[in-house]
Amino acid sequence: MKLCVKSFVRHTPAALRGLLGLSLATALLLFSAGEAFCAMHEQMAISTRAIALGNTVTADPPGVMSIHYNPAGLTRLRGKTLDVNFHLADVSMSARFYEPPNYRDFFGTGPDPVAGSSTSTIGSGINIPFSGPASVSHLGAPTAGFSWNPPGSRWTAGIALYAPFAVGFEYPSGPAAYDAQYLYQQRLVLAPAIGFKVTDHLSIGASVGIGNAAMGIRQEMRAPNDLVALSQVLGELTANISDIITLGLIPFPLFGGGLRTYESFARMTADNLQDNLTTSYNLGLLWEPTDWFSAGLCYQSETKAKFGGNYMIEYHKPWRNMMNWLVANQLIAIFTEALGLPTEGGVAFERGRATLEMELPRRFQAGIKIQPIKQAKFLFDIHWVQWSAMAQNVFKFDQGIQILKVARLLAYQHPSDTLVLDRHTKDTAHWSAGLELMPLDWLTLRLGYEMRPSSVKEEFRDLMFALPDINAYSGGLGFKLTRNTNLDLAFAYLKGDKISSRQEDKTTSKLLNHRDLTTIIYNPYAGLNVDSEMEAYIFSAGLSYFF
């Protein structure tokens, strides 16, 4: 009997095998959310002065926070210096879902109730050190640093606390929850550093970042596609039919009633994954041949993180019914085992420990400063980031996951306790510029601009990877309060280009709204058009004290 069944399975058309699998591998993407959209926000809020100048400070490093931007800049400090900065960010993301002109539903299941709706973030996700995940209306964070230059020494030592990568968002319950309702990623480092003045005009420096990385996600899952819709239609058609006509060999309703095409079948939570020891280093060079010109270089290494923590997948009743149907009798159970589908029946949840390996990319930044008169500085930088290092992510679970067992029916090549996802992000290069004016001895005016291109390819965008090309406009003021005390203020406005993933323009994403049956991982808005936008405001204040 088993040999006959296995022979049948080998000759079963791919579409029928996919129907038996019900394309529930769509939930694969859930575990990739943390490294996605969010890792793209690097060095957004570290130094108040740098924010005001559009991060254009490589050739004119900002005090103790030179430790991040160019550690060679430490040699310009004398005696002891304390820098304290506080940053407050308001990040807003929104999405709109609507039917294209040629919209068609899935096997007569009707229009998607998400169509015609829109949503916006209501706050941010964050991990508070020694506390854990939290929801906040605005992101706020301090940075601080201290340096010491012994009298007459060419050496300057320093240490700084800051977050080189940080982002988070939270959507209300509703349409966006199917991609990621709650998400954050951050890396907090303590960075000792040293700078050395090689000659009167040339300095070098290095810093080492040692710290914690954390990420989390909460998300609903759904799978609008033809295979899931067919399971719903067949389940509804056979709901009131006695299985006596099949002599009980095939229980009705089929597939336990099937999954609801437009409804969530599970919820995933993994909101406290951490790596408590991540390392990186920065190398810097500063050349100041004259008072009116300087040039700087800074290399920031990659960071390899291995996140670990608890996860839970809560399965809703339609999923559990379907899993129970797969083992409803001995005949169906033989088919289920032969296909490699889950044989444990419906479970309320799966939970345990998971690890995620990820690499935050290396960066290179170079710039010049031109100061034709004492009262004016012109700054220009170029930035390069190796985002292609995040082309793939590997997740390891402490058990086989039902969703991954089903995915193997759909050509997934890895074990059911391992998830390998391709992201194919691309390297980016951009420029920034800054202007600093000093009309009075006690007052400094600053302006900055930075154009940040997206590292996400069009075909891999989703609401987590919704990072568009961003234009950042900034400005600020500097006040010399006393001989030893400076106060800096900064404001930045970041506006992202509108992103449209449209069926009629063939600009759909394989991870958002692609309709093709062969791209079912992961398309929670299959068949719809999706527009998304983002903007952010950053306020910052910094105090420097020399003693």
Taken in order of first residue, the domains within the chain and their CATH numbers are: 2-546 (2.40.160.60)
Cis check for the bond before 171: say yes or no (omega within 30 of 0).
Answer: no
Element holding 435 (H helix, E strand): strand 428-440
Strand 349-360 vs strand 303-315: parallel, antiparallel, or unpaired? antiparallel
CA distance 354 to 372: 57
Radius of gyration of the chain (CA): 27
Query: Token pair for residue 370?
Result: 């031109």
Going by C-alpha positions, the residue among 209, 213, 210 that lies closest to residue 71 is: 209
Residue 59 sits at φ, ψ, to 5 deg, of: -90, -5
- In this prediction the pTM is 0.87
Question: Residue 436's pLDDT is what?
Answer: 98
Q: Which residues contact 317 (CB under 8 A, 6 or more apart)?
A: none
Residue where the block lists tokens 């568009």: 468
Residue where the block lists tokens 């099937």: 258
Question: Residue 458's pLDDT is what?
Answer: 84
CA distance 437 to 542: 18
Neighbours of 111 (CB within 10 A): 14
CA distance 97 to 530: 5
CA-based torsion, 519, 525, 527, 532: positive or negative? negative
Q: Are 480 and 492 in contact (CB under 8 A)?
A: no
Question: Residue 36's pLDDT is what?
Answer: 37
Query: Token pair for residue 491?
Result: 């404001």
Give strand ranges (E) for 288-417: 293-300, 303-315, 349-360, 363-373, 376-385, 392-397
Query: Token pair for residue 459?
Result: 């075909």
Going by C-alpha positions, the residue among 334, 315, 434, 463 that lies closest to residue 376 is: 434
Going by C-alpha positions, the residue among 216, 214, 217 that lies closest to residue 187 is: 214
| pLDDT tens digit at each of 547 positions of the chain | 333 434 333 443 443 344 444 434 433 333 333 333 333 467 788 999 999 999 999 999 999 999 999 999 999 999 999 999 999 998 889 999 999 998 999 988 999 999 999 999 998 888 888 888 888 888 888 999 999 999 999 999 999 999 998 888 889 988 999 988 898 889 999 999 999 999 999 999 999 999 999 999 899 988 898 888 999 999 999 998 887 777 778 889 999 999 999 999 999 898 899 999 999 999 999 999 999 999 999 999 999 999 999 999 999 999 999 999 999 999 899 988 888 889 999 999 999 999 988 888 899 999 999 999 999 999 999 999 998 887 777 788 998 888 888 777 766 678 888 877 767 888 999 999 999 999 999 999 999 999 999 888 888 888 876 678 999 999 999 999 999 999 999 999 999 999 899 999 888 888 888 887 766 567 899 999 999 999 999 999 999 999 8
